Structure 1
Amino acid sequence: MSPLIVENEYGFRDSGYSGFNNPVELAVLESERLWPGEKVGLIVSLGTDVISLTPINVGEDWTASDRYATKFLKGVLTKLGPNANINDRIRKRALDCIKQIANVAADTQLSHRSAKSKHPESIYYRLDPSLGLDGFDLFDIFHTATVEQNVQQWLGSPETEKKVTSIVERAVLLNTEPLSKDTARFVEPPRPSAEIVNPGYNPQLDKRRPETMIDYLHNYQVLFVIDDSGSMKGDRWMETRDALIGIADYALKYNTDHVNIRFLNSQQTFPQIKGASTIMSIFDMIQPRGYTPTGAILERILREHVSKLDNAVNTKEYELIRPLDIIVLTDGIPSDQPKLVLAEAVKKMRASKHHPNCIGVQFVQIANDDGADIALQDLIYGDNGSMVDTVPFDGELTAERLERILLGGLHPNVRAMMPIRQ
């Protein structure tokens, strides 16, 4: 393939010719040379549907063999015409060409997987349109109209629109001043695409978070999950109780039934909490013991709420389901895997096309146990749909501080607009 010469000085050649059919790593290296010390914020890799030329999930040590290439041979030789004198030399050259193309295709997929794993700090997208190549013979060049039609269908699909829109939104955010928590509270949440979210959801999900406790308690379902493990005995238990008394008194004052309490170890549930006397009796009844099974209780709560949403789709009840705020008050490192539970819940919500703001989870750290802050902070990473926020230990948990935490919460899709480590 002849290079393209520009201004008699610069020569350009298809990177596939040099063995880089997917030049994503070269692009990253070039970026590092141009802007040393700068992090690559967004990587978009564009594919050409060559997956059908290699085995599924091709490995790093895979190389096309004569045996593998033979399955394409008949189709290639047919292109030479019925009168062609096909001998062993031509067969060998055809096999060599097939193997080279298959190896380039394999390199494309390996480069994609490598880039995705090497740059977890960057926002990485792979766009690989389905061109329908698996229905053609290799070296078949007479189906450009079919390929163009397949590309147009791919471009017009809801899935492609969703992905391209996400890329554009991310690119815009990368070039704007990052949001802080204080400013994010006043940002209008972005309205999700109708193709990815069920219609008829609660309109509160597209509004800014409430600024007063009365609006918050009337418009949100608030579920406190209390750590009742053995380490919470004594002052920590009393501190948590006293902080909750203030919220329960709000619920009594404003006559709202949307404050609920559950515990990590106790199987008892306490719905519609109102007033100090109710909190006092609950904390006298439940005594700290056991471990910290945060993931187990969250799995039950999230499963129940997602099922409730699933069952209400296409009914009037769907609009009435309030956004659920789960507030986990805990002093310790979870004894199970809440991170996996959260990721699975988000996966189910997406599959069922529920609004991303349906559920939010805040982990509030009580006391300053070694390692607890790191363990809780780790929960904000991973594929949790920005559902999770953590509030580190900052002195005594009072009713006033707990109120500020509740009102300072963010919608998941607003939190997604912020730097992940903020």
Structure 2
Amino acid sequence: MDDSSSMAGSLWKEAKQALATLAGVASQYDANGVDIHFLNHYESITGVTDSKAVHEQFTNLQPRGPTPIGHRLDIILGDYFRDLDAAKRQEDAGDYFARKQIKPVNVIIITDGAPTDDPESVIVSFAKRLDADKWPLAQVGIQFVQIGNSRRATQFLVELDDNLKQTHHIRDIVDTTPYIGQLNAEMLIKILLGGINRRVDTKGGAAVMY
């Protein structure tokens, strides 16, 4: 969650509501709930299973500071990749089920603006590691949800979504979705699956709706 100073006011309220909705839906598919991390507040919230818990936890949090998306991604995915690396070592040692025990991860970043650091290089580095070790295409997904209407942020996010694969010759693990005040079923599917499902990324949530 982007908790930078630019998120103060109505954007913070919108972001909280979007996160509460997403947490409520995502927890229906993962009994462990979702973990919430912030860019500037280092107190993470783990195992959230309903939207009420999101509102309660946000009571004493106020936006502050810059937008270090790359730095936080590096920390969050770094922890996850240590588990991936350990599973690969176990597989190399003869445990052929080690990889299957690592659950895929979908990182959803709710933000209003362009970052103050370099998330592109972080994403590219992790994507190359996924390719090198031949992890499934759905192992890691990164979904950016844009709050507000900053053109600079929109341009940055679109470039991340559309250009990384071609520019760096890596798998496509990034998707972006604008938040327009409410989340319908199609948007929820795109946000929850767009970073790991190419049909959803290119065609939207309708691609898997029946």
In which range does the TM-score fall when normalised by the shorter chain? Answer: 0.7 to 0.9
Query: Structure 2: how far apart are the matches of 1:309 and 1:401?
Result: 31
CA RMSD of aligned residues (A): 2.6
Q: How far 1:247 sits from its partner (Å)?
A: 3.4
Partners of 1:239 and 1:398 within 8 A in 2: no
For residue 334 of structure 1, what is the aligned residue in structure 2? 115
For residue 234 of structure 1, what is the aligned residue in structure 2? 9
Partners of 2:5 and 2:66 within 8 A in 1: yes
For residue 389 of structure 1, what is the aligned residue in structure 2? 175
Query: Structure 2: how far apart are the matches of 1:254 and 1:388?
Result: 21
Decide which structure has the larger Cα Rg and report it.
Answer: 1
- Which of 302, 308, 312 is the equivalent residue of 2:77? 302
- Amino acid corresponding to residue 296 of structure 1 in structure 2: H
Partners of 1:293 and 1:335 within 8 A in 2: yes
Partners of 1:230 and 1:288 within 8 A in 2: yes
Which ranges of structure 1 fall in alignment gaps of 5 or more residues? 1-225
- Amino acid corresponding to residue 332 of structure 1 in structure 2: G
- Which of 265, 282, 293 is the equivalent residue of 2:57? 282
Q: How far 1:357 sits from its partner (Å)?
A: 2.1
* Residue 41 (structure 2) pairs with residue 266 (structure 1): yes
* Residue 99 (structure 2) pairs with residue 324 (structure 1): no
Q: Secondary structure at the match of 1:386?
A: coil
User: Deviations along 1:262-301, whole A, 9 cap, x unmatched?
Assistant: 1111112111102233111221132100111010011112
- Which of 235, 252, 256 is the equivalent residue of 2:31? 256
**1:366-377 matches, cutoff 5 A:** 366-377=147-158
Query: Structure 2: how far apart are the matches of 1:408 and 1:350?
Result: 20
TM-score by length of 1: 0.41
TM-score by length of 2: 0.79
For CA contacts below 8 A with separation 6 or more, give which structure has more relative contact order. 2
**1:159-174 matches, cutoff 5 A:** none
* Residue 197 (structure 2) pairs with residue 405 (structure 1): no
Which ranges of structure 2 fall in alignment gaps of 5 or more residues? 204-210
Q: How far 1:402 sits from its partner (Å)?
A: 5.2
Partners of 2:18 and 2:183 within 8 A in 1: yes
User: Deviations along 1:175-225, whole A, 9 cap, x unmatched?
Assistant: xxxxxxxxxxxxxxxxxxxxxxxxxxxxxxxxxxxxxxxxxxxxxxxxxxx
Q: How far 1:371 sits from its partner (Å)?
A: 1.0
- Amino acid corresponding to residue 363 of structure 1 in structure 2: F
Q: How many residues align?
A: 191
- Amino acid corresponding to residue 396 of structure 1 in structure 2: G
Query: Structure 1: how far apart are the matches of 2:35 and 2:185?
Result: 19
* Residue 150 (structure 2) pairs with residue 364 (structure 1): no
Q: Secondary structure at the match of 2:115?
A: coil
For residue 208 of structure 2, what is the aligned residue in structure 1? none
User: Deviations along 1:57-112, whole A, 9 cap, x unmatched?
Assistant: xxxxxxxxxxxxxxxxxxxxxxxxxxxxxxxxxxxxxxxxxxxxxxxxxxxxxxxx
Query: Structure 1: how far apart are the matches of 2:40 and 2:66?
Result: 8
Structure 1 residues 409 and 280: alpha-carbon distance in aligned structure 2, compared to 1, 3 A threshold:
same
Identity %: 32
Query: Structure 2: how far apart are the matches of 1:394 and 1:248?
Result: 15
Query: Structure 2: how far apart are the matches of 1:236 and 1:409?
Result: 23
Structure 1 residues 394 and 255: alpha-carbon distance in aligned structure 2, compared to 1, 3 A threshold:
closer
Query: Structure 2: how far apart are the matches of 1:288 and 1:398?
Result: 23
Query: Structure 1: how far apart are the matches of 2:48 and 2:118?
Result: 29
Q: How far 1:325 sits from its partner (Å)?
A: 0.8
Q: Secondary structure at the match of 1:326?
A: strand
User: Deviations along 1:275-330, whole A, 9 cap, x unmatched?
Assistant: 23311122113210011101001111222212211101214442122211111110
For residue 59 of structure 1, what is the aligned residue in structure 2? none
Query: Structure 2: how far apart are the matches of 1:234 and 1:361?
Result: 26
Partners of 1:306 and 1:349 within 8 A in 2: no
Q: Which runs of 4+ in 1 moved over 6 A?
A: 252-255
Structure 1 residues 402 and 260: alpha-carbon distance in aligned structure 2, compared to 1, 3 A threshold:
farther
